[in-house]
Amino acid sequence: MYVFIKEKDTQKTFIDEKKIKENLSSNLNPDSEKIRNILQKSLDKQRLDPDEVATLLNAKDEKQWEEIFEAARTLKEKVYGNRIVLFAPLYIGNDCINDCEYCGFRISNKEVVRKTLSFEKLKEEVKALVSKGHKRLIVVYGEHPKYSPEFIAKTIEIIYNTKHGNGEIRRVNVNAAPQTVEGYKIIKEVGIGTYQIFQETYHYPTYKKLHPRGPKSNFAWRLYGLDRAMLAGIDDVGIGALFGLYDWKFEVMGLIYHTLHLEERFGVGPHTISFPRIEPAVGTPIAERPPYQVSDKDFKKLVAILRLAVPYTGLILTAREPADLRREVLKLGVSQIDAGSSIGVGSYSETDPEVIRKSQFILGDTRTLDEVIYELLKEEYIPSFCTACYRAGRTGEHFMEFAIPGFVKRFCTPNALFTLNEYLNDYASEKTYKEGKKVLEKEIEKLDEKQKNIVLDGLERINKGDRDVRL
């Protein structure tokens, strides 16, 4: 059952606009020594406080920015190694009762074609994704009474139960409307991964202007949506802002204050942070001309600063961005990307002439999954479909117990190599297969003797036909 609880929209929140502006205005024109001290704190894998983040945001000198970028690259390698986790978005339905001015799904947009996948069609979509090699999805829903917690749970059950050849989906993350605590509990029962809610903009006046009608018009209800998820026992949550709606520096600060709030209340911050830029959408003029358009240069800056600000939080770079820019930004601390993506409802399993008119926005990177994996391998990244930590219970605060001392590499590198080998054996093109085997050999040589033996045994089991080998 769909429930919308009316909270006072103006209730006091943890986003203090005055305080954020003070952070930014009181840390102008930082000297290089101050910046280096902050970078060293980050490289020591300590989360930055708001004034320190504001200081980095206010860097002016090109040399300072080069040092910031280099620190972001170094920190990513320290925490995550050279792994890049891959996933795909799966849009379940685009009916929506909100009227967000920047979104193609908004209720007043008469140009978009409305569609919700039937359960049979959902199975076809999953098989199409699995046949390409995908193992991790984020499922996306409009906000509408038909997309109840029960409906969401049922669709996720179907996804997990749909097998195809040697493949299956092993982790389903969710991007859906904020729920009640009871609603989240229903969704949690089917074994979801991360529950993701983007605030879109943390600037209250802008939020109110751009969300004139519908449940999403309530700033506080959305802002505290992930608190309710945590109270329901979902300990992996993802936050994000849609860059281009308001000043990008303010939005970065909003993400930091949201992180601090979750840490203070629940003892663990967000599992992921997303930072999409607004992209063109059918029948949506504001998306063609964003009010605070973020340049490619500033986009790189905000990604690097987020990496430094929250060392242990995954950063998600989406296919909204063009391929060339994604190649550059990937080096600045990104840990997850989508690939082989299609965002039309039903567009993986059929060629749909109206795919754009069923989409929330227009993608910038339309490369296939195999093309993306090949390029990652050429750059000596390890493409990973790993889902082991989530299924072993290494989530939320427990994940941090492993991550902070640096133990993640003990699990993540072997598991990444196992899932890469699965992909190479089952789905890769000939050139990707050859490049992948080279990377496997190089990565094995980096391991100590004990890990090497474990990994070689796992890889051999996969070569002989075993699947879902993991630590």
Q: Tell me, what's the pLDDT at 281?
A: 86
Q: What whole-number distance in Å separates Cα of residue 20 and Cα of residue 249?
A: 10
> What six digits make up the tokens of 251?
């939005």
Enumerate the β-bridge partners of residue 173. 138
Q: Tell me, what's the pLDDT at 363?
A: 82
Q: Tell me, what's the pLDDT at 238?
A: 98
Q: Are 336 and 292 in contact (CB under 8 A)?
A: no
Q: What whole-number distance in Å separates Cα of residue 245 and Cα of residue 206?
A: 7
Question: DSSP 3-state assignment of 297?
Answer: helix
Q: Tell me, what's the pLDDT at 1?
A: 33
The long-range contacts involving 62-71, CB below 8 angstroms and separated by at least 24 positions, are 63/32, 64/30, 64/32, 64/35, 65/301, 67/32, 67/35, 67/36, 67/39, 68/35, 68/39, 68/301, 68/304, 68/305, 68/308, 69/300, 69/304, 69/332, 71/39, 71/42, 71/43, 71/304, 71/308
Q: Are 341 and 89 in contact (CB under 8 A)?
A: yes
Does the predicted TM-score (pTM) go above 0.75? Answer: yes
Enumerate the β-bridge partners of residue 371. none
Beta strands in 243-284 (DSSP E): 272-274
> What six digits make up the tokens of 412?
């993540």
Q: Tell me, what's the pLDDT at 4?
A: 44
Q: Could you read off the pLDDT tens digit of each residue along the chain, which spans 471 residues? A: 334 444 555 567 999 999 999 999 999 999 999 999 999 999 999 999 999 999 999 999 999 999 999 999 999 998 888 999 999 999 999 999 999 999 999 999 998 889 999 999 999 999 999 999 999 999 999 999 999 999 999 999 999 999 999 999 999 999 999 999 999 999 999 999 999 999 999 999 999 999 999 999 999 999 999 999 999 999 999 999 999 999 999 999 999 999 999 999 999 999 999 999 999 888 899 988 999 999 999 999 999 999 999 999 999 999 999 999 999 999 999 999 999 999 889 999 987 666 655 666 678 899 999 999 999 999 999 999 988 776 666 665 545 555 555 555 677 889 999 999 999 999 999 999 999 999 999 999 999 899 999 999 999 999 999 999 987
Burial 114-137 (b: 16+ CB within 10 A, else e): bbbbeeebbbbbbbbbbebbbbbb
Residue 376: partners with Cβ closer than 8 Å, 6 or more residues away: 84, 382, 383
> What six digits make up the tokens of 181?
């605590």
Among 374, 368, 444, CA closest to 413? 444
Among 469, 415, 421, 413, CA closest to 443? 413
Q: Tell me, what's the pLDDT at 230?
A: 97
Q: What whole-number distance in Å separates Cα of residue 89 and Cα of residue 138?
A: 5
Q: Are 136 and 85 in contact (CB under 8 A)?
A: yes
Return the ∠ at Cα 37 (arms to 34 and 38), rounded to 5°: 90
User: What phi and psi, each to the nearest 5 degrees, are found at residue 188?
Assistant: -60, -35
> What six digits make up the tokens of 69?
């970028």
